[in-house]
């Protein structure tokens, strides 16, 4: 499992993921400052409607499905990138996108909230992202390492063996990743509205 035993590669990949996510967050926050009032108000109304969904009336189910679908598509894109090897940049693009989405939404809530913006932002984004951010980061890490371990191997026979070994590990972490996506979707659909209601 050569691709997972080189500390230098691990450190560089972790730094790359952090840079992409933080850079994406900053870019998302910057984009939010440039949108017009109409677009800003529309986005705020959408977020407010999601947070005010009543789980007891079945509103949380729609949010659960949307969250699971949206994050599931991103996870699928990363999986395809890892399995095909050559499309591994898709994993890096997903991490950047998650950072942009978080930065944009955080800036939007902070700017649109009245008085208690920090609390509202935490209630809306913190619970699910405590799991989602590490999940996509770790998954992106394995995607990148798997691709690099195959690409850097010059021996074709050994390359296939490395790919097969790493693919087993990769697919093994895909299952718990999908389970955690279901958990975060449930939190977003049923827990976040309750927290927002308290605030």
92: left (phi over 0), alpha (psi -120 to 50) or beta: alpha
Query: Tokens for 199?
Result: 């605030």
CB 173 within 8 A of CB 83: no
Indicate if the pLDDT at residue 98 is higher than 60: yes
Give the pTM. Answer: 0.82
What is the spatial distance between Cα 185 and Cα 191, in angstroms, rounded to a whole number? 10
Hey, which bits of 3-122 come out as E strands? none
Q: How many domains does the chain have?
A: 1
Residue-wise pLDDT for 111-163, tens only, equals 776 556 677 777 778 888 999 999 999 999 988 888 887 787 766 677 777 78
Range of the domain at 154: 2-198
């Amino acid at each position: 499992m050569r691709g997972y035993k080189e500390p230098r590669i691990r450190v560089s990949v972790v730094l790359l993921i952090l840079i992409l996510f933080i850079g994406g967050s900053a870019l998302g926050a910057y984009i939010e400052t440039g949108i017009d009032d109409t677009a800003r108000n529309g986005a705020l109304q959408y977020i407010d409607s999601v947070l005010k969904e009543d789980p007891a009336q079945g509103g949380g189910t729609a949010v659960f499905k949307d969250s699971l679908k949206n994050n599931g598509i991103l996870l699928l894109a990363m999986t395809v990138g890892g399995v095909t090897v050559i499309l591994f940049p898709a994993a890096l693009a997903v991490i950047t996108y998650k950072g942009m989405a978080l930065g944009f939404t955080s800036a939007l809530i902070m700017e649109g909230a009245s008085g208690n913006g920090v609390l509202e932002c935490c209630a809306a984004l913190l619970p699910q992202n405590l799991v989602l951010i590490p999940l996509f980061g770790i998954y992106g890490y394995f995607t990148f390492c798997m691709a690099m371990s195959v690409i850097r191997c010059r021996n074709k026979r050994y390359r296939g063996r490395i790919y097969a070994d790493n693919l087993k590990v990769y697919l093994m972490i895909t299952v718990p990743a999908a389970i955690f996506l279901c958990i975060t979707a449930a939190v977003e659909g049923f827990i976040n509205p309750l927290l927002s209601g308290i605030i």
